[in-house]
Every structure is written in structure tokens, then in C-alpha cells.
């Protein structure tokens, strides 16, 4: 009987099948490899942009979020937020930013491992990468909502600003302030990685499911 590891990893590709159908077995490996590269590159690129238009800043204020840090006019925006009772942006998602790079490297390694697993269990290894872009936006929405809905009642302008939910994508604002938020290149690459991973598993199933079935029945492919 096959061992537990063999059951999870699945059958290897017979040399004759590899010679007869090289493209079929190469397709999932190549697609998943490209998806991994895109996710890895996205670590170094912006994931989210926001422009704030305020009367005091006619040229606007800008903030850019990477997976592990913020750049731009953070101090200026924090200064404006202080008057309406919003906490400093640096206090948001501290744990997420601290572990983001390591988590994404782990996702890349899991996807690499998925390329060597020739059973349905390979999908489980890639699920974190598939849902990561949506998870990033949901986490961002959570923190913006938490900050916007929990304003300090003792702030100088607390009486003139009601709790609000900032917009993570598109146009929004409160009072005289307008915001314009958009996805960064990094988030787009992570999204493409997610789509390519799904495509990769279509080719994965087409290539390796017949081998798994043949292994279970003891027949030929």
C-alpha cells in the first residue's frame, strides 16, 4: 500500500508520458512559477495609494502603502487627522506589517511546494496566495473603518466631524477633505498572481489527475 506521503504527494510522471506530452506536464509548473515570481516582486512595490486634498495643502498630500511600511506625507496627514480625533496611521496593522514579508515568502515557498504535489492537496498549499489580494483589501478596510468610526471625542474638531468610513478604492472624503484611493502596482501583481495560480491548477488537474486515477486503479494512463 502507498504511504501517507505518497498519497499526499501523488504519483511521479512516467518518463514515457513525459516524452509523449512534455507541454502538458510543463504547463502547470511554468504557470505556477511565473505566479510565484510576480508575488515575490510585489513585495517591493506599492500596494495602495491615497491622495488627500485639503484647503491647507493645495498641491495635495500623498501616502503610499507597501506591505510592510508607509511612505509619503504621513506626518502631515496624521497632523490633520489629529484635529478630527483619528489615531496616527502608523498605529494601524502593526502586526500585519511586521510579518508581511515573511508571510509572503512563506506563500511563495508553499506555491513552490504545490508544483511538486500531484494530487488535489496541492490546492491547499496555494490557497493563501490566491486569497491574499482580497485579504489585503479587507484588512485595509478593517483598519480604516476602525480608525474612522472611533474618533476621539476630545479632539479639537470632534464636534464638527461625525464618525465615518474612509474609502479604500475610489473617491471619498469628509467635510472639506477629499480622498482619492487606488490600488498600487504591487497589489495588481498579487492579483495577477492569484488569477495565474487558478489557471495553473486548471493545467495541474489536466496533467496529473489521470496519473492519480491510474495509480489508484492500477491501470495505464
Q: Kindly report, residue by residue over 165-180, the tens digit of the pLDDT.
A: 889 999 988 778 889 9
Contact 65, 141 (CB under 8 A): no
Residue with cell 515568502: 105
Per-domain boundaries in the chain: 4-217
Strands (E) across 66-176 are located at 70-72, 170-174
Cα 122 from Cα 100, distance rounded (Å):
23
Q: Taking a C-beta distance cutoff of 8 angstroms, is the pair 148, 164 a contact? A: yes
Selection from 80, 99, 131, 122 nearest residue 211 by Cα = 122
The label of the residue with cell 512516467 reads 14
pLDDT in tens, the chain (221 residues): 456 556 666 666 667 776 777 777 788 989 999 999 999 999 999 999 999 998 888 899 999 999 999 999 999 999 988 988 999 999 999 999 999 999 999 999 999 988 888 777 888 999 999 999 999 999 999 999 999 999 998 988 877 888 888 899 999 887 788 899 999 999 999 999 999 999 999 998 887 777 766 666 555 45
CATH of domain 4-217: 1.20.140
Q: Rounded mean pLDDT of the chain?
A: 87
Look up cell 495577477; give the residue.
192
Confidence (pTM): 0.87
Closest among 197, 212, 200 to 120, alpha carbons compared: 212
At 141 the pLDDT is 95
Q: Are 10 and 211 in contact (CB under 8 A)?
A: yes
Gap between the terminal Cα atoms of the chain: 20
Question: 139-149: per-residue pLDDT in tens?
Answer: 999 999 999 99
Question: How would you list the strands of the sheet with 170-174, edge to edge?
Answer: 70-72, 57-65, 48-54, 177-183, 170-174
Amino acid at each position: 500500500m502507498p504511504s501517507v506521503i505518497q498519497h499526499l504527494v501523488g504519483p511521479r510522471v512516467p518518463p514515457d508520458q513525459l516524452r509523449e506530452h512534455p507541454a502538458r506536464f510543463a504547463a502547470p509548473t511554468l504557470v505556477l512559477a511565473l505566479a510565484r515570481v510576480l508575488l515575490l516582486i510585489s513585495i517591493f512595490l506599492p500596494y495602495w495609494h491615497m491622495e488627500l486634498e485639503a484647503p491647507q495643502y493645495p498641491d495635495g498630500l500623498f501616502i503610499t502603502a507597501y506591505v510592510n511600511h508607509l511612505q509619503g506625507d504621513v506626518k502631515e496627514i496624521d497632523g490633520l487627522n489629529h484635529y478630527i480625533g483619528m489615531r496616527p496611521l502608523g498605529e494601524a496593522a502593526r502586526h500585519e506589517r511586521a510579518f508581511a514579508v515573511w508571510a509572503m515568502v512563506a506563500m511563495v515557498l508553499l506555491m513552490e511546494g504545490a508544483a511538486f504535489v500531484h494530487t488535489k492537496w496541492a490546492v491547499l498549499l496555494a490557497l493563501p496566495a490566491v486569497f491574499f489580494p482580497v485579504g489585503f483589501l479587507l484588512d485595509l478596510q478593517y483598519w480604516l473603518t476602525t480608525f474612522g468610526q472611533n474618533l476621539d471625542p476630545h479632539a479639537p474638531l470632534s464636534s464638527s466631524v461625525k464618525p465615518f468610513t474612509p474609502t479604500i478604492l475610489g473617491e471619498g472624503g469628509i467635510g472639506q477633505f477629499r480622498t482619492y484611493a487606488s490600488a498600487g502596482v504591487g497589489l495588481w501583481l498579487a492579483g495577477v498572481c492569484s488569477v495565474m495560480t487558478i489557471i495553473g491548477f486548471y493545467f495541474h488537474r489536466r496533467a496529473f489527475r489521470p496519473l492519480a486515477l491510474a495509480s489508484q486503479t492500477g491501470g495505464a494512463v
